[in-house]
Amino acid sequence: MRLFLSISAVLLGLGFLSLGQVVINEVGWAGTAASGYDEWIELYNNSPAEVDLTGWRLILGQREIPLSGSIPPWGFFLLERTDDTTISDVQADLIYKGALPNTGIVLQLVDPAGVVVDTANGGAKEGWFAGDVGTAASMERISPELPDSPVAWRTGTKGNAHDAKGREVYGTPGAENAARSLLLPLECSVPSSPFSGTVELSWEFTGDVEGIEVKIFVKTGTFWELVAGDLPPTGTYALDTMGFPNGKILIALGAFDASGPRGGVVVEGEIAN
């Protein structure tokens, strides 16, 4: 049996992972040009219904931030660290305390029932999946439907917002991510789980695929591991599952240009060899 999807399709239960209503959409972990301490975080409501954030929490490593207020349908929620001048020309929805160290941490978004509905930077081996200290660039999710993984985040570019000293922010605090406009349509097929022996993945990225390299990552334990790179925009790959332990496996496949991913998919399955 083969499964097909486009990147916007929601096919829960078929192995292709998708996300809930509210996601961690952008992480300004490097601060701004004005100050490395001027960090910020953006949430996004990827649904047609307003979401009341009462009882929700955002966990930054060891620190827990209680959320309040609400996010409008298809709207953004901007958290600024310490004060509202971090992003000087966008009003914060919440001011928080706590650091996002350059060495990387995992962010978790928890709903009132205690369910972790999203993460950011989960399983990163070191540092952050994207973002840059030199330009104080953010880590932008390329699609609110793509689960946290090495194929889900791209480094922010110079946008319209300004920092505490009036300089342009590398990122899009409180506004649609620039990375989202770069998304390439994808068709992907994966055998149905459980997996055994060799699993054949096939994919086709369309659109402006000049310079695109496909990479495949696998997560069976704590960290994502790169298992293949330098693959063409349309291709197949035989993943040998014999080298992995039996149990849960996540497979992430992404189309990368020189600056980061421009589309991808995350598949969840079970290895039973």
Kindly state whether residue 26 participates in binding Ca ion, applying the rule CB under 5 A. yes
Task: Say which residues have a Cβ less than 8 Å from residue 113's Cβ, sequence separation at least 6.
Answer: none
45/172 with CB nearer Ca ion: 172
**Burial track 64-84 (b if 16+ CB lie within 10 A, e otherwise):** ebebeeebeeebbbbbbbeee
Please count the other Cβ atoms lying within 10 Å of the Cβ belonging to residue 11.
13
Shortest distance (Å) from residue 35 CB to Ca ion? 13
Task: Say which residues have a Cβ less than 8 Å from residue 273's Cβ, sequence separation at least 6.
Answer: 196, 197, 241, 242, 246
Tell me the helices (H) and strands (E) count for the chain, helix number first: 0, 21
**Residue showing tokens 């696998």:** 218
Instruction: Give the Cα-Cα-Cα angle 214, 219, 221 (nearest 5 degrees).
Output: 160
Which residues inside 150-179 make contact with Ca ion, applying CB under 5 A? 172, 177
80/201 with CB nearer Ca ion: 80
Kindly state whether residue 118 participates in binding Ca ion, applying the rule CB under 5 A. no
**Of 252, 41, 57, nearest to 149 (Cα)?**
252
Kindly state whether residue 24 participates in binding Ca ion, applying the rule CB under 5 A. no
Kindly state whether residue 87 participates in binding Ca ion, applying the rule CB under 5 A. yes
Shortest distance (Å) from residue 156 CB to Ca ion? 8
Kindly state whether residue 45 participates in binding Ca ion, applying the rule CB under 5 A. no
Instruction: Compute CA distances 208 → 204, 253, 257, whole Å.
Output: 12, 18, 11
Kindly state whether residue 92 participates in binding Ca ion, applying the rule CB under 5 A. yes
75/207 with CB nearer Ca ion: 75
Shortest distance (Å) from residue 267 CB to Ca ion? 26
Shortest distance (Å) from residue 161 CB to Ca ion? 9
Shortest distance (Å) from residue 207 CB to Ca ion? 22
Q: Please tell me the count of residues contacting Ca ion according to CB under 5 A.
A: 7
Q: Which residue in 52, 64, 83, 84 binds Ca ion (CB under 5 A)?
A: 84
Residues that bind Ca ion (CB under 5 A): 26, 42, 84, 87, 92, 172, 177
